[in-house]
Amino acid sequence: MLRVENITHSFKNGNEWTPVLHNINFEVKQGEMVALLGSSGSGKSTLLNLMAGLMKPTEGEIHIADHNIVKMNENKLSIFRRKHIGFIFQAYELITSLTVRENVELPLVFQSVSPSIRKQKSLALLEKVGIPDKADLFPSQLSGGQQQRVSIARSLITEPSVIFADEPTGNLDSKTEEEIISILLQLNKTMDTTFIVVTHETDVAEQMQRIFTLRDGYLVPEKGDSAEMVTQGVTNIEN
Ligand SMILES: Nc1ncnc2c1ncn2[C@@H]1O[C@H](COP(=O)(O)OP(=O)(O)O)[C@@H](O)[C@H]1O
Ligand SMILES: [Mg+2]
């Protein structure tokens, strides 16, 4: 459902081009849960933003649900993104003037879905992420972990084929991190949504089905599931 082909990316500063990603290739199946692991500066966010269609690569193709998003014009891409792609940010990015429920419903407002259906869907998702009682509060009245649950519910409300999460637990303490990761694992199991989760923490990555490691902009694919990797004592995932 997601295919990254020969992706190379450079950023331009003045007259100089800084290469950030080198010839990245991989494929992800519908319903898979993938960690994108690597130390700070290895190119994780750049790759995620390219896959989410937030910017265009210098070279290469990205196919999502049989569409090459690199070739799409801005207009088509923004419609495609709304329908097929969800995004979870490290800093939640909720709208402070809207209630929890209004934040979760917002993507459906852009799709002109009726208020009653929006309400029904948002309340069901708030239940799924474990905060059904917070619907009428504002983001500032919630803890960081609760705000991230809201942002997870928002990312799911359009029933996207794939959700991209950039260090979703990067601002959270380790106990809250565990809760958020287990919610993502549970949602992946029950909803058949594909998740690509960026992290710099090996123990977070090891809970996912597959791990792709980025090192200085190069991809080191890690095959097999986490249980296998632990029993085989694989230790070559560097941070
Ligand atoms: N907009 C940009 N302009 C120039 N360089 C950038 C830009 N965004 C990221 N970079 C550089 O690209 C490299 C990879 O960054 P990033 O993808 O954010 O890594 P990560 O998310 O793994 O920390 C870093 O060296 C960073 O400084
Ligand atoms: Mg990053």
Domains contained in the chain, CATH given: 2-231 (3.40.50.300)
Candidate of 9, 11, 49 to mutate for ligand 1, largest count of ligand atoms within 8 Å of Cβ: 11
Q: Minimum-distance ligand to the CA of 38? A: 1
Residue 11 alpha carbon, nearest atom of ligand 1: 4
DSSP, collapsed to helix, strand or coil, labels residue 61 as: strand
Q: Minimum-distance ligand to the CA of 42? A: 1
DSSP, collapsed to helix, strand or coil, labels residue 133 as: helix
pLDDT for 11 equals 96
Cα 55 to middle of ligand 1, angstroms: 13
User: Ligand 1 atom 5: the closest Cα is on which residue?
Assistant: 11
CA distance 162 to 183: 16
CA distance 30 to 162: 8
Tokens of 216: 């200085």
157, 105 Cβ separation under 8 angstroms: yes
Question: Among 92, 97, 170, which residue's Cα sits nearest to residue 129?
Answer: 92
User: Ligand 1 atom 24: the closest Cα is on which residue?
Assistant: 41
pLDDT for 224 equals 52
Cα 151 to middle of ligand 2, angstroms: 18
Backbone dihedral angles phi then psi of residue 155, each to the nearest 5 degrees: -65, -25
Pocket lining: 110 vs ligand 1, CB cutoff 6 Å: no
Cα 59 to middle of ligand 2, angstroms: 20
> What pairs with residue 196 in β-bridges?
34, 164
| Averaged confidence pLDDT in the chain | 92
Give kind and range of the element (H or E) at residue 182. Answer: helix 174-191
* pLDDT tens digits, 14-56: 999 999 999 999 999 999 999 999 999 999 999 999 999 999 9
Tokens of 194: 């594909």
Pocket lining: 188 vs ligand 1, CB cutoff 6 Å: no
DSSP, collapsed to helix, strand or coil, labels residue 91 as: coil
Cα 198 to middle of ligand 2, angstroms: 8
Residues of the chain with pLDDT under 50: 225-239
- How deeply is 170 buried, as exposed, middle or buried, from its count of CB atoms within 10 A (0-12, 13-18, 19+)? middle
pLDDT for 129 equals 97
pLDDT for 192 equals 87
Tokens of 29: 């199946």
For the chain, percent helix, then strand, then coil, each to nearest 5?
40, 25, 35
User: Ligand 1 atom 14: the closest Cα is on which residue?
Assistant: 43
User: Ligand 1 atom 16: the closest Cα is on which residue?
Assistant: 43
Q: Minimum-distance ligand to the CA of 18? A: 1
Pocket lining: 38 vs ligand 1, CB cutoff 6 Å: yes
Tokens of 235: 């230790």
CA trace torsion 157, 192, 197, 113 (10° rounding): -10
pLDDT for 221 equals 58
Residue 43 alpha carbon, nearest atom of ligand 1: 17
Give kind and range of the element (H or E) at residue 4. Answer: strand 2-13
Pocket lining: 44 vs ligand 1, CB cutoff 6 Å: yes
* pLDDT tens digits, 118-131: 999 999 999 999 99
DSSP 42: S
Tokens of 167: 């260090």
CA distance 45 to 196: 11
List CB contacts of 53: < 8 A, sequence separation 6 or more: 62, 69, 72, 77, 80, 81, 85
